[in-house]
Chain A
Amino acid sequence: MNTFHVMKRILLQFRRDKRSVALMVVAPLLVLSLMWMVLDHDESNLELGAVNVPESMLEKLSSDALVVETMSSTKAEEKLEEGTLDAVLYFENQEISLLLEGSDPNAAGALQKELQSLRTNQKDPVDVEYYHGSEDLGLFDYVGPVLIGFFVFFFVFIVGGVSFLRERTQGTLERLLATPIKRSEIVFGYLAGFGLFTILQSVVIASFSIYILGVFMEGNFFYVLMVTILLALAALSLGTLVSAFAKNEFQMIQFIPLIIVPQVFFSGLFPTEGLGTWVQVLGQMMPLTYGAEAMRGIMLREASFADIQLEIYVLLGFTALFTTLNIFALKKHRRL
């Protein structure tokens, strides 16, 4: 019953504190849009210098992504030095060789792919089809699902953690503990209040990313919502738990590099398959790993509930664990 009163109060505070609401809803939209602008563009033109390359061969290279310019060998080296060329194609003794500028792995990779056609010389290229995704799946489509999960996680962690901390610093926690409220009712009240709010937050962020930014989306929208809400609840229970170990807002912010940043590395933005077992085990102790995996499953691979249920249960487990620990941590303030 008191859980409900705490929840009501939190929602009322949200209504008054427009700035925090904006931080939780508008800030992720803004950052996602910026990421989208940076990542979701067509590949830039690759500048290729050609030295002694016969015309017939250059024709084969005609592609939208390539700008080929014939030049002398000295000029080409000069331009490589300046960084205005991505690579130089040489033709000597009936052999072609490619000199890559090399400081940008993306450009290097793209160039090598473009130049495949020179080597294979096939009339009928292999028929390529996509089991998941599609030909124009860009970098943003790949990281988008992870980013949606991450921003929900990050902002709920901060706002939830700080509001619980403020409850302590402004003395209302102590005041509350001098009433017959149960410790668990306070913690569940927070989960419920923020839970309701994160439904709204998740709907806004997920619809914006999918329908406005156009992140690749195969699966069920409600699964996306479910996963983001579960991620938000895990973030909230973790944030409120660690706030017990912070004396003030500044110390709360210090948890970001400790708790949030490492999770990004394991969230699937960077490949982890090839890493050592112990590194992977580390990743498996982080909520965001599961949330991100489920998000990518749903959005890129049209995962069914059965495919993501493990992740869902793990996220629920994290929330249950952090919540229990938090109820226990409040014993520091009142034994009963």
Chain B
Amino acid sequence: MSTMVEMKSVIHRYGKNTIIDQVNLSIQKGEIFGLLGPSGAGKTTLVKLMAGILQPSEGTISLNGSDLQHLSQMKNFGFMAQSDALYQELTAWENLDFFASIYHLSRKKRRERIREVLEMVDLSSSKDQPVETFSGGMKRRLSLASALVHEPEMIILDEPTVGIDPVLRQSIWNELNDLKHKGVTIIVTTHVMDEAEKCDRLALLRNGKMIAMDTPESLKEKVNVSSMEDVFLHYGGETK
């Protein structure tokens, strides 16, 4: 397996505050990589660094083996932000069409892909509705669809299931597993423990520091507990 994302001694400061402190990690192609931590731990900052929206104050980040220096690298991944970044006046279809067109997909390909992702997130029937009439869950799903529309080899999802009911959450996770089988690398942040267990590997983040990184099973084994919650408490307590 080759490396998709590699972070080396990454530090990010905002003013005087250090948000991300000396993070080293590597994410393999085709895995579901989870970033688990309480709110304020720096999860969003970390994924924005990976997406190239933020620049590290120190350290290096490479994507697919090369430095994140070129705009063209941005087309390799899809980004689903924590807030639903959608144009409220436009319909679901128009939103997807706009984002897809930025990736220079041909008209035919665009139509095909939009249909596919709408199907995937179960929004085909509301495709011509303006987003402002959507429920919170529908907006979440449309956000996910917009991150997938250009068939990226990696997707970065910032708290994708916040405010989504369990049934829908299950269906989003099924979707993510399907994508994984197609070879897509998935990076997902969460603060929900049971969601974290669905990831192949997990990084535990607290106050900008990475306190542990492993598969959920070995994390539990190492500290000899049965739930992720206890793992987190164990490591979290240690740093205090």
Interface residues of A (CB under 8 A from B): 1-2, 5, 8-9, 12-13, 16-17, 170-172, 174-182, 333-336
Interface residues of B (CB under 8 A from A): 51-53, 55, 69-75, 77, 79, 81-90, 94, 98-99, 101-104, 130, 146
**Whole-angstrom distance between the Cβ of A148 and the nearest chain B Cβ:** 29
13 more CB-based (< 8 A) A-B contacts, given A5-B101, A171-B85, A176-B85: A2-B102, A9-B87, A9-B90, A16-B89, A170-B87, A171-B81, A175-B85, A175-B99, A177-B53, A178-B51, A179-B79, A180-B71, A180-B102
**Whole-angstrom distance between the Cβ of B159 and the nearest chain A Cβ:** 13
**Whole-angstrom distance between the Cβ of B14 and the nearest chain A Cβ:** 12
In the complex formed, the residue of A with least CB distance to B91 is A16
What is the bound-complex CA distance between A178 and B71, given in angstroms? 9
- Cβ contacts A to B, 30 pairs, < 8 Å: A8-B101, A9-B87, A9-B90, A12-B90, A12-B94, A13-B89, A170-B83, A170-B87, A171-B83, A171-B84, A171-B85, A172-B85, A172-B86, A172-B87, A174-B53, A178-B52, A178-B74, A178-B79, A179-B74, A179-B79, A179-B99, A180-B73, A180-B74, A180-B75, A180-B102, A334-B53, A335-B55, A336-B52, A336-B70, A336-B71
Q: Which interface residue of A2, A12, A333 has the most chain B CB atoms within 10 A?
A: A12
B99 touches A170 (CB 8 A): no
In the complex formed, the residue of A with least CB distance to B156 is A178
List A contacts of B102 (CB < 8 A): 2, 5, 176, 179-181
List A contacts of B85 (CB < 8 A): 170-172, 174-176
What is the bound-complex CA distance between A182 and B72, given in angstroms? 10
List A contacts of B51 (CB < 8 A): 178
What is the bound-complex CA distance between A180 and B146, given in angstroms? 14
In the complex formed, the residue of B with least CB distance to A169 is B83
Q: When the two chains form the complex, which single residue of A172, A177, A179, A334 contacts B103, counting CB atoms closer than 8 Å? A: A179
What is the bound-complex CA distance between A335 and B61, given in angstroms? 14
List B contacts of A336 (CB < 8 A): 52, 69-71
What is the bound-complex CA distance between A182 and B74, given in angstroms? 11
List A contacts of B88 (CB < 8 A): 170
What is the bound-complex CA distance between A333 and B48, given in angstroms? 11
A178 touches B83 (CB 8 A): no
What is the bound-complex CA distance between A160 and B95, given in angstroms? 20
A5 touches B52 (CB 8 A): no
What is the bound-complex CA distance between A272 and B100, given in angstroms? 53
Which 3 pairs between the two chains have the least Cβ-Cβ distance?
A: A175-B85, A171-B85, A178-B79
B98 touches A9 (CB 8 A): yes
List A contacts of B79 (CB < 8 A): 175, 178-179
List B contacts of A13 (CB < 8 A): 87, 89-90
Are A179 and B130 CB-contacts (below 8 A) given A17-B89, A170-B83? no
List B contacts of A17 (CB < 8 A): 89
What is the bound-complex CA distance between A178 and B74, given in angstroms? 6
What is the bound-complex CA distance between A179 and B103, given in angstroms? 8
B90 touches A180 (CB 8 A): no
What is the bound-complex CA distance between A174 and B146, given in angstroms? 14
In the complex formed, the residue of A with least CB distance to B98 is A9
List B contacts of A1 (CB < 8 A): 104
B74 touches A333 (CB 8 A): no
What is the bound-complex CA distance between A178 and B52, given in angstroms? 7
**Whole-angstrom distance between the Cβ of B106 and the nearest chain A Cβ:** 13
List B contacts of A179 (CB < 8 A): 74-75, 79, 99, 102-103
What is the bound-complex CA distance between A333 and B79, given in angstroms? 15
Q: Which interface residue of A174, A179, A334 has the most chain B CB atoms within 10 A?
A: A179
List A contacts of B55 (CB < 8 A): 335
Q: Which interface residue of B55, B70, B87 has the most chain A CB atoms within 10 A?
A: B87
List A contacts of B70 (CB < 8 A): 336
List B contacts of A16 (CB < 8 A): 89-90, 130
**Whole-angstrom distance between the Cβ of B155 and the nearest chain A Cβ:** 11
What is the bound-complex CA distance between A178 and B44, given in angstroms? 14
